[in-house]
A and B are shown apart, each in its own frame.
Chain A
Amino acid sequence: MIEQIRDKARELLEGKQVSCFIGYEQGTRGKARPAFIYAPQEVERLVWDEGCAHNLTTYLHQFKNPVKRGEPPPRVGIMVKPCDARSLNVLFHEKQLDRARVYIVGLTCGGMKDDGQLLARCQRCSERVPVVYDLLVGEKPGTVGQEDYADVAEMEGMSPRERLAFWAREFERCIRCYACRQACPACYCFECVAEQLDPPWMGIAIDLPQKQFFHVMRAYHLAGRCAGCNACEEACPMEIPLSLLNRKIAKEVEALFGYKTGQDAITPPPLATFKKEEEVPL
């Protein structure tokens, strides 16, 4: 499998079809980390294993602008898992990326592991083949998970006061490093509400209401756009369960509007469109 990826990366780089190939390499502490390959002889660095949990599509934003004025932006090759492919579709739909400027090496995925344990999101994942790719690598794994929102339902069973206390406890830990935002492929605004000073949406203090505001705002801005790659939660140094928040919205979006994020690059996300005759329970 990895040889096939390396061969393709080499071919693309040698043929100058892409200026950079984004993949994974072995990190210094034994875990995979993102790698940016610019020269064909460096493709040997590429790896593909069960530790390749990062969503690399976040880095595509760095290749949106031309290197030299007047030139088209550079073409990029990238390795994507099924979850990352969904976020690619979000970016294509939002015209953040031109489909023709990305060469997608799709990877069939049996789930990512940490310390031999399948990640929670991978246990729930029912997609094993990317929804968009130029080259598909690997065989389709037999087993698939099922998203049942068990933990979200558990939260919904609490009383509002209990939920308030739960989130206060979680967000109390937030240090406002904004790693969740930076890791997210769908969070690409040049000026984020979190930093807007006019109007000052949010204060800059380490203060619970402000932190809560930030997190609700972040989750809400991703409503119907979150591909569920869980990069935010994995980037969080304080281990705040952001997936509980994101998946609640995903669940409601699916229930209210029958929409699943990133299945194609054509259907607009639910909050960008409406139907006149629909019944929306307020």
Chain B
Amino acid sequence: MAAEFEPQIVGFLCRWCSYPGADLAGTSRIHYSPSLRIIRVPCSGRADPLLVLKAFQDGADGVMVLGCHPADCHYVEGNYHARRRYALMHRLLEYMGIEKDRLLVEWVSAAEGGRFAQMTTEFTNQVKELGPRGGI
């Protein structure tokens, strides 16, 4: 029996909201997908879309970018910039042949541990269904 496909998912999590959110999921002992490799970034505005592209280039099956909810950014406006950038990057990646469902951009606050766990698991299943990715 062939081993089940386990996707490699890279998550860029904002240091102020989403990373503590993931932390909360952990300390609350909520189970979430082990496929996720979390990279902590100072702000979702720091998660340069090129980092996402680089993750895909290096073989990631899915990428998550999580930041503070709009109006909650520690740096006041980082997530507004991220919102615009990813709106465009999402469409560009899809155009390049990377399925839309392989990139998730969402807002997770530090209090939303449960939501983070649920989101991660759902996203992992979504990527699992798409299967391994070929090419960039």
**A residues at B contact (CB < 8 Å):** 155-156, 160-168, 193, 201, 208-210, 212-213, 216-217, 219-220, 223, 245, 248-249, 252-253, 256-257, 270-271, 274-276, 280-282
Q: Which residues of A contact B97 (CB under 8 A)?
A: 160-168
Q: Which residues of B contact A193 (CB under 8 A)?
A: 50
A257 to B91, CA, bound (A): 13
Interface of A, secondary structure class, is helix
B135 touches A168 (CB 8 A): yes
B80 touches A274 (CB 8 A): yes
Q: Which residues of A contact B49 (CB under 8 A)?
A: 220
Q: Which residues of A contact B87 (CB under 8 A)?
A: 256, 280-282
Give min CB distance, B107 to chain A, whole Å.
Answer: 9
A270 touches B136 (CB 8 A): no
Q: Which residues of B contact A271 (CB under 8 A)?
A: 81, 84-85, 88
Q: Which residues of B contact A213 (CB under 8 A)?
A: 53-54, 57, 136
| B98-136 Cβ-contact flags toward A at 8 Å (1 or 0) | 111000011000000000000000000000000000111
Give min CB distance, A248 to chain B, whole Å.
Answer: 5
A257 touches B84 (CB 8 A): yes
Q: Which residues of A contact B84 (CB under 8 A)?
A: 256-257, 270-271, 274, 280
Q: Which residues of B contact A163 (CB under 8 A)?
A: 95-97
- B54 nearest in chain A by CB position: A201
Pick from B88, B105, B106, B136: contact of A212, CB under 8 Å: B136
A163 to B93, CA, bound (A): 10
Give min CB distance, B72 to chain A, whole Å.
Answer: 12
A-B contact pairs, 19 of them (CB 8 A): A160-B97, A163-B97, A164-B136, A166-B97, A167-B96, A167-B97, A212-B96, A213-B57, A216-B53, A220-B53, A220-B88, A223-B88, A223-B92, A248-B92, A248-B95, A271-B84, A274-B77, A275-B80, A282-B106
